[in-house]
Structure 1
Amino acid sequence: MVDVEIVQVGPDEWREFREVRLASLADAPGAFGARHADWVEATEDRWRQRLTDVPCTFLARSDAGTVGVVSGALSEDGVELISMWVAPSHRGTGLTGRLVARVVAWAGALGRDTHLMVRDDNPAAIRAYEKAGFTDLGVPEGWPDDAPLERRMRHAGS
């Protein structure tokens, strides 16, 4: 396995978070609710606020730089796993599972379930989440006809 350190970050690490978040939005524009153009010119205050509003963010660091990110946002029904991304150079190394496990553990320490939404047309992500212990609950009822289909998944241990 590639030597990667996973660390939880906050507002003071906004520059490193900015770098990896912009890389993720450029690499996989259809996978996120945000767009690269929405964030590329964001101010320091906006980046810091994102890391304050979303209380759980982990970065994966290697000799190659920051190669992964995942966040956990508090929601009415638990913790929503969001902003999951691993650099192409580190896909297939188990890093996705390690990052996901950190958010699931964080949610568990709060006594909360973990859930996520994933694009229906991203079978690789769906498989990775299933491997990490999530159950596919399908597309929620009443999903808008004009929106790309997304599947809701819930962590089996939650």
Structure 2
Amino acid sequence: MKYSFALSLSFLFSAFCGFSQIEISSDLPLIRDGYRGCAVPISCLRPTSCSGPIQIMENPEGVQNSEASDDLLDITDPEMVDFGAAPNPTKGQLTISVAPVLLNHEITVYDMTGRQVGFPVIISNVSQPISIEGEAGIYIIAIPTNEQVLTKRILLE
């Protein structure tokens, strides 16, 4: 059962990736495509083309990895933006530390029921003081940006 499942996976990946040229390390146990006689990697790094040769290597832990030997297109991750809030827990007075890209955004405080507490504050400095007035509990500080809403949980004592 395991062999037929593995052979089915092998056929699926070879059909999906095209029968590209593959370099194989002879000491690795690989799934072989019976009628084509070529080894097929378990994962296809570029499913739309798979045109370059693929090398299958073994890392020190014994797990097989496949890497394309030619360059792949680089996808740049969007800049991760975050902010800090101190002290946490607080008695009501906080300092919000933000990256300069967050200047002129609003800080809004919500309680755990989702109700807005107080009025939004415009961030005018990278260290912005704010105050939370309310009962002891957990509050959410939110800074909406064009791409996402940054949040932090604050414990009010």
Q: Which bracket does the TM-score occupy, shorter chain normalised?
A: under 0.3
Higher-helix-fraction structure = 1
TM-score, normalization by structure 2 = 0.21
Higher-strand-fraction structure = 2
Of structures 1 and 2, the one scoring higher in RCO (CA 8 A, sep 6+) is 1
